[in-house]
Amino acid sequence: MKKVLSLVLCIAMMLSAIALVSCSGSNTYEIAVVTDVGQLMDKGFNQGTWEGAEAFAKANGKTYKYYQPANGADATDNDRIAAMRQAITNGAKIIVAPGFLQATAMTTVAIENPDVKFVFIDGWTLTDAEDKALPNVTAVVYKEQESGYLAGYAAVMDGYRKLGYTGGGGGSNPACNRFGYGFVQGAEAAAKELGLAAGSVTVKYSYQHGANFNASAELQAQINGWYSAGTEVVFACGGSMFESVKSAAEANPGAKIIGVDVDQSYASELVITSAVKGLKESVGKVLDQYYDGKWDSDLAGKTQNLGASDDATGLPIATSRFTTFTADKYNELFGKIKNGTIVPDSEVPADANNGDWLNVFDIVVVDFE
């Protein structure tokens, strides 16, 4: 009897051990998002990317998790590599990583892990040491100049004459540079259409305090100075930088904000519109292609450049707070960009932290800081 009891206990212990191993092994997450600098819920780039992955995963019964590289705004390539490797250790089959700073880390980890797929948001086609495109990496870029153009045009049409633009990346972020350049082009187009005099529209323009896309006392002080000196609306182009612009606007009666990447109207009543790109939608699109077995045919080693023709750029006109610029006027302009009648210029210098390249407009005067 004692032997039988001992045998039963041993079997029970073995089954418990097996169950424990099974449970511990079930904590895997096949879709991973490795964030760019800044916080996950930054009301912008990271958040839009994450929400796209989250929405797809929930709709399709997939496990998912985000990873923030160590050291925050000071994250290094090694920090990003560590985050991606951890995602793979935790079972990631596909890693979505926003931001051009991810390039070196993604190249390293993608070469190490050829069976894992990588989605490089705001990136480009990555290559190996022989300059061959990595087949397990796909990239998505956007025509930010289109959204910027729409925002600048709408602002001037709505009666604003003293504009501001503060950009992330210190002048070396291609996406921010395209947003800013498009913004001034749109302001110029509206000014010409209205028959305004040369110099009647001004744009304060700076990358000074946006190198890491973070909110800072220095950025808030700069933008507060702009508002105090008469700037009416500032395009806050760079993740958590929005918080500094928001604080400055709240301290200056009548000050307004233009958001970026996602619809930021919910973040403050001072946001009149946002220059958006379809982060959530495009992340969902790529994940759908991957799970539909189309990686090799549609994604491997390729870069998709999405714009108005893909409904991936624009303004959230339904939540915009314009006073005279109408939805009909917006739809007319958006349609012209969508069908190619209007093509905002996207050619920006690699280092845009010099205002000379913006002194090309007939009416708009750019005051570069």
Q: What percent of the chain has pLDDT over 90?
A: 81
| Residue 55: Cβ within 10 Å count | 16
Of 26-40, 57-71, 297-311, the least confident = 26-40
d(CA 48, CA 275): 13
Q: Residue type at 63?
A: T
Higher-pLDDT residue of 8 and 325 is: 325
Query: Is the pLDDT assigned to residue 219 strictly greater than 50?
Result: yes
Instruction: Please give the mean pLDDT across all residues of the chain.
Output: 91
What mean pLDDT comes out for the span 135-149? 97
Question: Tokens 């931001």 correspond to what residue?
Answer: 99
Rounded (5°) CA angle 184-185-190? 95
Q: Count other C-beta atoms under 10 Å from residue 288's C-beta.
A: 13
Instruction: Give the pLDDT confidence score for residue 9 in this predicted structure.
Output: 39
Q: Given a cut of 90, is residue 51 above it in pLDDT?
A: yes
Say what the pLDDT of residue 100 is. 87
Q: Which of 24-28, 34-38, 142-146 has the lowest mean pLDDT?
A: 24-28
Lowest mean pLDDT among 78-82, 147-151, 355-359: 355-359
Q: Tell me what pLDDT residue 7 has.
A: 43
pLDDT in tens, 273-302: 999 999 898 999 999 999 999 999 999 999
Examine the pLDDT at 14 and tell me if it is beyond 80. Answer: no
Residue 213 or residue 329, greater confidence: 329
Has residue 47 got a pLDDT over 70?
A: yes
Residue 257 has pLDDT above 70, yes or no: yes
pLDDT band at 24 (very low <50, low <70, confident <90, very high): very low
Average pLDDT in the 81-104 region?
96
**pLDDT over threshold 90, residue 212:** no
**3-state secondary structure (DSSP) of residue 146:** helix
Residue 48: pLDDT band (50, 70, 90) is: confident
What is the band of 43 on the pLDDT scale with cuts at 50, 70, 90?
low
pLDDT higher for 213 or 296?
296
DSSP category for residue 134: P
Q: What pLDDT shows up at residue 252? A: 98
pLDDT at 4: 44
**pLDDT reported for residue 1:** 42
Instruction: Give the CA distances from residue 20 to residues 15, 16, 175, 245, in Å, rounded to whole numbers and listed in that order.
Output: 9, 6, 47, 51
Residues 6+ apart with CB under 8 A from 367: 202, 203, 204, 205
Q: Which pTM does this prediction carry?
A: 0.84
pLDDT given at position 38: 75
153-207 pLDDT, tens digit each: 999 999 999 999 999 999 998 999 999 999 999 999 999 999 999 999 999 999 9
